[in-house]
Amino acid sequence: MNRRNGSSPRRPRRGPAALATSAAASCLLTAALVTGCSSDQSPASAQALLTTGPTVPTTTLPTGSATASPGSTASGTEGSGSPSATGSATGTGSASPGAVGKNLTAVAAPYKLPSGVTGATAVADNGKVLALGGQDSGGKATDQVTSIDPIAKTATSAGTLHTPVANAASSVVNGTATVYGGNTKGSDDASGVTDTIQTYSGGTSQDVGKLPAPRENLGATTANGKTYLAGGDDGKSAQGDIWSTDDGKTFQTVGKLDKPVRNPAVATTGTGNDEKVTVFGGEASDGPSDAIQQFDPATGKTRTVGKLPADLTDASAFTLGGTTYLAGGQSGGQAQPKIYKFDPATNTVSDAGSLPEGVENGAAAATGNNAYLVGGEVSKKVSDGVTELTPQ
């Protein structure tokens, strides 16, 4: 759970003990899209990202045109081999994220997490999904790792992280799930923001390095064989550094966001040598953002290339069947049920379906033909739910 009051350098915790349940209806995002851009920014110098209840009927929209190759997955056994990259509120789990594909049907899975969690991060792992860390219903960072098996329809404990973290980011480096930064105490305590890098494999985890600076509420994605970390905060203010790594241990600063944001959704978009790091929404110093920012690794420059239908923070990004999607998030102070798909040709998003309920701060990953949205907050309560997202 994340700090979101932009008027204060330290944001009040949004944990269950501090959240007041709103009686207002959930604010749906508008359908109008506005595009725009800003001047390029030069790269920086090198320095070293449910409460459970009955299933709610799903609302789906007309099917869009299908394109692109299926999402890539790895083979092997749980916790080992070559997991597929994805993110915390961020990341990608499929190759060639340059198409605009089908709409999605979203249904509540028939299984639950061992316990509720929000602000976890997720990767695809050999046909399964690993949810790593997060914050529990008591507001504390957890070291729990959960393996979601789409075939067996189960979500079971798969070991622990070396260091408990909430609001971290993750990717897969050389076949190993790698977790970056986060908060070791929970989102209400700035002293818990960490620079720790840890890996997870086969049920065990270890600390393997440090980020250039402590960071939480960041996003991670993999483009052209490198992992990029973007956005986040240091416990006080949103940060604009974009870091890259080849090995998951050593980093360099390769660029800056046009506008620093925490809690964005981050994904790789485009294809081949034209892959870019795309940052959707988030929260800036002056409040929630509707900007779509795009970093080009080839030039080291970031541009604001478009706008979301409304301000959006804590959404979850994933790539499925070659298309990048955004699911849930918070807008107007309410968790959102909307699903959007991104068109890299026009740098716009369009409706792609709806979640059974509004979810913010969930973790998403795609494996095989489906994506999975894990935990988060539903109706201001920490969720133990899993939502299955399937192309129509």
pTM: 0.78
pLDDT < 50 stretches in the chain: 1-82, 84-95
pLDDT at 282: 98
Quick one: the chain helix, strand, coil %, rounded to 5? 0, 40, 55
Token match 């716009």: residue? 348
The set of residues, in sequence order, having a beta carbon less than 8 Å from that of 377 and lying 6+ positions away, is: 1, 14, 118, 335, 359, 360, 361, 383
pLDDT at 60: 33
d(CA 351, CA 179): 31
pLDDT at 92: 37
- Please check whether residue 207 is in contact with residue 162, taking contact to mean a CB–CB distance below 8 angstroms: yes
pLDDT tens column, 238-280: 999 999 999 999 999 999 999 999 999 999 999 888 899 999 9
